Amino acid sequence: MNLVVDIGNSSAKLAVFENGEKVSVSRTAELGVEILDKILKDHKVDKAIVSSVVNIPSTALELLSSRLSYIHILSYESGLPFTIEYETPQTLGTDRIAGIAGACNLFPNTDLMVIDAGTAITYDFLTDGIYRGGNISPGLNTRLRSLHEYTGRLPRVSLKENFSNPGRNTEDAILAGVISGILYEINEYIRTFKKKHPDHKVIMTGGDGGFINGKTDFQLTYMPDIVIDGLNYILEYNAV
């Protein structure tokens, strides 16, 4: 069995795979030895991969190293099924690498754009088997929080489905502005990508991916687990 550990900006996601199939998925605000110990006791894990956009807790690595025969720490130097064309690959987020790898595995020989909507929204592009780079912009809740924190009177607004557009009150004006702005942004990215790459696939993932899915002008493939699926693929790719 494989253990996948994906540490993001606000939480960590853990998944156990057996023969390519997920048998367990969990999320925790903070990666501690307790949850890792429970997973290792409940499942016969023999190898693991760790991806992190922050520092990996040393206690977690020590526990995994003492219990498993193989651990892979994902980086730009890992074996990958595509070439990275990026000026500073050492600064490339491993979650972005994993998302592209997961999409590449599921949709081979296809030009890909992976949109990961979380704390930040990342747009990553793979064409002709080469990772071309990507763009980063503030995520939904980052924009909502910033409007409150960097202005004198705008309230902190929570994300919700129903609001007037154009906004007929300040709360709705903020929601309509932020959500519409993100949808315009995504629509234009897809429209531009589609013009250049007719044989393409656009994948949506991330914590806010479910909220955004179905609201764009274009059909997306919503895959909330594409990053952890990609991590398991990379683990198998490197463990052989």
Query: Would you please indicate which residues are annotated as catalytic (active-site) residues?
Result: 95
Torsion of the alpha carbons at 106, 110, 111 and 113, rounded to the nearest 10: -20
Peptide bond into 166 cis (omega under 30): yes
Report the distance separating Cα 236 and Cα 217, nearest Å: 36
SS3 content of the chain, % helix, strand, coil (to 5): 40, 25, 35
Q: 122: which strand partners?
A: 116, 136
Closest Cα to residue 114, out of 223, 236, 214, 5? Answer: 223
